[in-house]
Structures are given as structure tokens and as C-alpha cells.
């Protein structure tokens, strides 16, 4: 029996994967599911699973950061992601397996079989994960992006971005030095670009850096007050996910 933990900030994704494991991989017993980075740290340390199904993009800290922050890695990792670019970054080195959402039964069965084979061969996941993390560090994946305007190309640290706002087919960036920049790409394109950088989309017109949340006011969907005083609406369908994120930050 393989004991597993599922880590994914989307409740529906956690539930779907757990059901698929029960149906297609009955030899896998799900010991816990985690909605984010902090909860996952606690579960992994206390339950000591054989395998972790790990979402790469989580609002309170990426799957890569989770692995970096663990004192001991004595389990195998199967990355799960909806973004092909992350799969390429993580798996190009051919060290670990991944599942691209939506997950298919065949892919899931094959990934679990690979873990079982490695365990049978007396391997552990430590070398694989260290290899991936070192490769990602060399690629310098996280912290800077290029924003192109009519005046030129701007190298921007993601930590300096407070929020982004949709303006038809453009996106307006707001920075922590109170400047802003209008970019001729949609908000969806920038959401994908910033997917592993602690950003959350609480509303179809807004993308925010979670590090700059000051207050959440509960009402219908709610309102987020950013540290610069900007007020960002929260849609009803994003309220539950936002509350999960905020609870993880406690």
C-alpha cells in the first residue's frame, strides 16, 4: 500500500484526484489532502507519505518552495499542474513525473506505477527532487519578468507588482513605488505568466499580489484592501478560495 498526500489549492481538483486514485489505483491510500503550502508542510512532516501529488501553483507558496523548505525529503513527488510551462520546467530534466490537468486515468496509472517501480528498486525521491530544484534555480524561474511597452522592454521584479487590472485587451500594472504601466496583453496572459509568483485572481478584472493584502472585508463576495489603499472586489465564486488562502496565512 502506498500512502499519499494530495496538495492542491483547488478543492475540486483535490476531490477529483482522490476519487480517481480510489477507482484506478486502489493500492494508493490518501492519508490527507492539503489546500496550500503551510498545511502541506504540516501534513508531510507528521504523516510521512510515500508519495505526494503536488500542485506547482499555489497562492500561498509554490510546490517548489514547499520542497525547498522541507528538512527531509523521504518521499516521491508527482507534480500536478494545469500549466504546460511548469511541466516543462520541472520535467525537462526527466527526474520526476508529472500530471497535466485535466488528469487522465492512463497518465495517473503510469505515474503511480513509476513510483512503485522506484520503491521496489530501493530508490528514494531525494536525489530526483534535489536535481529538479537545482535545475530550476539555474533557470532563475521566479522573480523577474519582461514587460513590453511602446517605449521599450522593462525588466520587472514580481515582488514589486502590487496588482494588475484588466483594461479590455490591455493590462495595467500597479507597482509598490506608486507607478503604473499599461501593457498590450490580456489579464489572462499575465495571470499565466505570474502563476508561480504568489498572485491570485479574485475577480475577472483583477489580479493581485497576495503579499500586499491589508484587509479583507466580508460582504457579498467581499472586498480586498491592498496596502496602497486600492479596493479590489471579490467575485462570489472566488470567495471560498480566497478564504482558504487567508486561512493558510494564519
Q: Which of 3-12, 83-92, 185-194 has the highest mean pLDDT?
A: 3-12
**Can you give the length of the chain in residues?**
250
- Same domain? For 129 and 169 the reply is no
- Same domain? For 28 and 67 the reply is yes
| pLDDT at position 63 | 80
Burial state string for 167-183 with b = 16 or more CB within 10 A and e = fewer than 16: eeeebebbeeeeeebeb
Which of 107, 139, 171 is at the close of a domain? Answer: 139
- Same domain? For 150 and 242 the reply is yes
C-alpha cell at 18: 482522490
Q: Closest Cα to residue 233, out of 242, 243, 224? A: 224
Which domain CATH number covers 12? Answer: 3.40.50.2300
C-alpha cell at 145: 519578468
- Same domain? For 105 and 171 the reply is no
| Phi/psi at 184 (5° precision) | -85, 55
Which of 139, 163, 179 is at the close of a domain? Answer: 139
**Is pTM beyond 0.85 here?**
no
Which domain CATH number covers 235? Answer: 2.40.50.1020
Structure confidence by residue, pLDDT tens digits, 45-57: 999 999 999 987 7
Burial state string for 72-88 with b = 16 or more CB within 10 A and e = fewer than 16: ebebbbbbbbbbeebbe
Structure confidence by residue, pLDDT tens digits, 146-185: 898 888 889 898 989 999 999 988 999 999 999 999 999 8
Element (H, E) at 208: strand 206-209
Conformational region of residue 137, where left means phi above 0, alpha means psi within -120 to 50, and beta covers everything else: alpha
Q: Are strands 97-100 and 170-175 parallel, antiparallel or unpaired?
A: unpaired
Structure confidence by residue, pLDDT tens digits, 220-230: 789 999 999 99
Structure confidence by residue, pLDDT tens digits, 54-70: 987 776 667 877 888 88
Q: Tell me which of 8-22, 93-107, 131-145 is least confident.
A: 131-145
| pLDDT at position 176 | 94
- Same domain? For 98 and 173 the reply is no
Residue 57 in contact with residue 83, Cβ under 8 Å?
Answer: yes
3-state helix, strand, coil in the chain (%, to 5): 40, 30, 30
- Same domain? For 73 and 148 the reply is no
- Same domain? For 135 and 103 the reply is yes
Which of 117, 139, 161 is at the close of a domain? Answer: 139
- Same domain? For 165 and 180 the reply is yes
Q: Which domain holds residue 154?
A: 144-248
- For the chain, the domain total comes to 2
- Please tell me whether residue 149 adopts helix, strand or coil conformation: strand
Average pLDDT of every residue of the chain: 85
- Same domain? For 219 and 95 the reply is no
- Same domain? For 113 and 154 the reply is no
Q: How many other β-carbons are positioned within 10 Å of the β-carbon of residue 235?
A: 16
| pLDDT at position 89 | 54
Angle 99-104-106 from CA coordinates, rounded to 5°: 95
Alpha helical stretches, state H, 56-164: 63-69, 84-91, 105-120, 126-139
- Same domain? For 9 and 113 the reply is yes
CA atoms within 13 A of residue 147's CA, in its CB half-sphere: 25
| pLDDT at position 48 | 94
- Same domain? For 79 and 164 the reply is no
Q: What is the DSSP letter of 104?
A: P
Amino acid at each position: 500500500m502506498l500512502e499519499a498526500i494530495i496538495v492542491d489549492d483547488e478543492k475540486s481538483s483535490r476531490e477529483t484526484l482522490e476519487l480517481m486514485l480510489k477507482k484506478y489505483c486502489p493500492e494508493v491510500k490518501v492519508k490527507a489532502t492539503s489546500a496550500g503550502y503551510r498545511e502541506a508542510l504540516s501534513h508531510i512532516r507528521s504523516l510521512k507519505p510515500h508519495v505526494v501529488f503536488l500542485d506547482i501553483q499555489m497562492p500561498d507558496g509554490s510546490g517548489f518552495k514547499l520542497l525547498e523548505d522541507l528538512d527531509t525529503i523521504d518521499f516521491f513527488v508527482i507534480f500536478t499542474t494545469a500549466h504546460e510551462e511548469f511541466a516543462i520546467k520541472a520535467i525537462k530534466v526527466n527526474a520526476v513525473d508529472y500530471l497535466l490537468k485535466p488528469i487522465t486515468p492512463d497518465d495517473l496509472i503510469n505515474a503511480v506505477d513509476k513510483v512503485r517501480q522506484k520503491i521496489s528498486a530501493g530508490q528514494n525521491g531525494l536525489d530526483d527532487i534535489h536535481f529538479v530544484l537545482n535545475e530550476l534555480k539555474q533557470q532563475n524561474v521566479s522573480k523577474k519578468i519582461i514587460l513590453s511597452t511602446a517605449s521599450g522592454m522593462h525588466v520587472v521584479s514580481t515582488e514589486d507588482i502590487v496588482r494588475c487590472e484588466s483594461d479590455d485587451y490591455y493590462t495595467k500594472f500597479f507597482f509598490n513605488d506608486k507607478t503604473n504601466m499599461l501593457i498590450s496583453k490580456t489579464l489572462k496572459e499575465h495571470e499565466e505568466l505570474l502563476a508561480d509568483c504568489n498572485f491570485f485572481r479574485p475577480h475577472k478584472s483583477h489580479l493581485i499580489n497576495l503579499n500586499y493584502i491589508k484587509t479583507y472585508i466580508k460582504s457579498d463576495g467581499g472586498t480586498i484592501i491592498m496596502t496602497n489603499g486600492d479596493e479590489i472586489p471579490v467575485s462570489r465564486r472566488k470567495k471560498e478560495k480566497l478564504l482558504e488562502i487567508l486561512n493558510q496565512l494564519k
